[in-house]
Amino acid sequence: MNGLAERILTLIPTGVSPPGALGWLFGISLLLFVATLGAMPVVIARMRADYFVRPDAPDTGGRYPALRWVLLALKNLLGLVLLPAGLAMLVLPGQGIITVLVALTLLNFPGKRRLELQIVRRRPVRAAADWIRARTGQPPFIIPDATPRAPA
């Protein structure tokens, strides 16, 4: 073993990673890669074309407010699972930025719309989303132009 490899191996604490941990990480990465290849196009195709221009839905209790809160919690939980997976896929195999965009659409937080628009206005992201929608027979997303800020 050369000197560099020995130095790197001494930096890795022993006993921290059990035998087979690398295999598990590879398996999880592969599973997430395959899942996003299948799920993200479906989610992108099912979104309304005017998702990025329509105002947020009004916050109404509806007929079953308890069910609404449970579904809202599950939606946010799914977003919380997809967000770190998408961030990991920025460096691992997978559709990282598209997964992050879908995770953001599921989450509820202040400034969400502005962040979504920043991401979807990027040329590669918009091209990928429009390509997915065209392949499924859906119209492209309607994306509002960035409004220039008036000088203060």
Q: Give tens-digit pLDDT for 139-150.
A: 999 988 866 555
8 A C-beta contact, residue 106 and residue 78? yes
Alpha helices by DSSP H, listed for 47-122, are 65-88, 96-106, 112-120
Give the residue extent of every domain in the chain: 28-54+63-135
pLDDT attached to residue 77: 92
Going from the first residue of the chain to its last (152 residues), give the mean pLDDT of each consecutive group of 10, the final group possibly shorter. Answer: 60 57 72 78 88 69 80 89 83 76 86 86 90 93 74 54
- Radius of gyration of the chain from its Cα atoms, rounded to whole angstroms: 20
Q: Which pLDDT tens digit goes with each residue over 29-53?
A: 777 778 777 888 888 888 889 988 8
pLDDT attached to residue 138: 93
